[in-house]
Amino acid sequence: MKHLLFPIIAITLCACNREPATLVYKIVSVRPHDRECYTQGLEFSGKRLFESGGGYDSSTVREEDPATGAVLRKRAMAKTVFAEGISRFNDELFILTWKENTAYVFEPDTFKFIRSHTYQGEGWGLTNDGKQLIMSDGTDKLKFINSKDFSVIRTIDVTKSGQPLTQLNELEYVHGEIFANVYMTDEIARISPENGRVTGWLDLSALRRQLPTPNKAEVLNGIALDPATGHLIVTGKLWPSMFEIEVSEK
């Protein structure tokens, strides 16, 4: 009797359309925040907290006390620029601008101007993975940037359940993945830096009910990873509070 040989077919299951995990959070602490700051970027560097505030004729870069929110140092940006994302990388502080196609580089301890770089398109959010800067521009794309000349090393397309996810704003690199505020929402996407797939989704809309009133609070914007605790500090544009939260998968 002859043996029947059947071809072995390798089946690869595509994860492109996989639904992102639901992320949940626990509020660990609530801290004061400058309610006049139109938050664009928030980042810890060691125990130090840096923030950029936007607005024409009102953009600033600042260092704050992480516990009290008190502004320790502040530098006003040029009246003609709208400051956006911020990231400290290789002992330099990088700040994007919205429509001015310029990134400014400052000395972190004095806010002294070092140099500037130009880039194409708008500037929204900024973070780094320890090797390069990562930049958003309001679209579904994230650009990996050489910090020395601001050239684009590579670009990824961000997708949620197989569909492009646009309005990516403030960024934070968290344990090997990218967290991104989604503009005009109070939600955060967790994104794979390898393929751009959204692997987790965090709804922080309930934080608004924790804000003291009256307030002028606008959209959630501002994510900073505290390396000492592994918790996130989140806030928003004109929010009077910052929230320390512990995030996990449901």
HEC profile of 47-113: CEEEEEECCCCCCEEEEECCCCCCEEEEEECCCCCCEEEEEEECCEEEEEECCCCEEEEECCCCCCE
CA-nearest of 179, 186, 190, 174 to 226 is 174
CA-nearest of 241, 240, 183, 200 to 21 is 200
Question: Could you read off the pLDDT of 87-145 as tens digits, one per residue?
Answer: 999 999 999 999 999 999 999 999 999 999 999 999 999 999 999 999 999 999 999 99
CA distance 186 to 220: 5
81 burial level (CB within 10 Å; 0-12, 13-18, 19+) = buried
Please report the domains of the chain, with CATH numbers, ordered by start residue: 32-249 (2.130.10.10)
CA-nearest of 200, 218, 153 to 25 is 200
Predicted local confidence at residue 14, as pLDDT:
52
pTM as predicted: 0.93
Indicate the pLDDT class of residue 222, thresholds 50, 70 and 90. Answer: very high
Give the bridge partners for 134, in sequence order.
127, 144
SS3 34: coil
